[in-house]
Amino acid sequence: MTRKPLIAGNWKMYLTRAEAVELASAVAASSKGLTDREVMIAPAFTSLAAVQEAVGGADAPIRVAAQNVAWEKQGAFTGEISAPMLQDVGVDMVILGHSERRHVFGEDNAMVNRRLVGALEFGLTPILCVGETLEEREQGNTFKTVEEQLSQGLKNVQADQMEQVVVAYEPVWAIGTGKTASKEQAQEVHAFIRSTLVALYKKTLADSVRILYGGSVKPENIDSLMAQPDVDGALVGGAALDAESFARIINFT
């Protein structure tokens, strides 16, 4: 079983097109020649084409992802972007169910599942984000929340499709707060996620799924997080907007 580490930058609603191309070029430069890990960046929709053009292509050192996708090919869905539209600009990965989509924009597990099933049908690689709020953690409901997000988010996802899926554990209380989960807290939930995947699928498949940690990942904590047996990468917000910090995170040891 080998799980190639994935270091992913979620740029959220930041950067103009020119700024995005500049940062993407810097990330591509720091990722050149790395073969034992994958690097991904997720710019805003408006920058995807320009970023893909600047750093994309079959032998590109980094992958470019979108931050959400609709489930239909086209139609009356104001404000949405479809998978074929993303593929048209060379994008083949997408972040789904991010905590900000869930908690600011009200996306529930059913909607996240619909997006995920659609993304897989169109051939996009989804990163399914899960994670508990502080209240859920304090009430002892971390595992319950994460289990529901996984089982409902992955409803109707077949085993062969699951091979494409990446999971990201992002405790809501750690996102943008500077409060990282300790390496023990991260490992505990990552192991729980893997055991849930064993129950939903089977062990060999669960062992091959990459589980990323997200929430205040920084140059100072990446090495100890990556040393955990079930942490297979990181989904980085704030620190991914700084070329130097992200380069250090990419080059975790």
Which secondary-structure segment (H or E) carries 233? strand 233-236
What's the farthest any 2 CA atoms get from each other in the chain?
Answer: 47
For ligand 13P, the closer of residues 201 and 215 by Cβ is 215
What tokens does 6 get? 């994935």
Measured on CA atoms in the order 251, 224, 137, 5, is the torsion positive or negative?
positive
State the minimum distance, in angstroms, from the CB of residue 192 to ligand 13P.
20
Q: Is 190 a catalytic residue?
A: no
Q: Residue 201 or 222: which CB sits closer to ligand 13P?
A: 222
Q: 11 among the known binding-site residues?
A: yes
Least Å distance, CB 110 to ligand 13P, is: 21
The answer to whether residue 170 is catalytic is yes
- Residue 193, SS3? helix
Is 71 annotated in a binding site? The answer is: no
Q: How far apart are CA 80 and CA 69, in angstroms?
A: 7
Measured from the CB atom, is 181 or 201 closer to ligand 13P? 181
Residues binding ligand 13P (CB under 6 A): 10, 98, 170, 175-176, 214-217, 235-239
What are the tokens at 205? 């498949």
**Cβ–Cβ under 8 Å, residues 214 and 239:** no
Q: Active-site residue among 38, 136, 170, 190?
A: 170
Q: Of 98, 107, 132, 136, which residue is the catalytic one?
A: 98
Catalogue the active-site residues: 98, 170
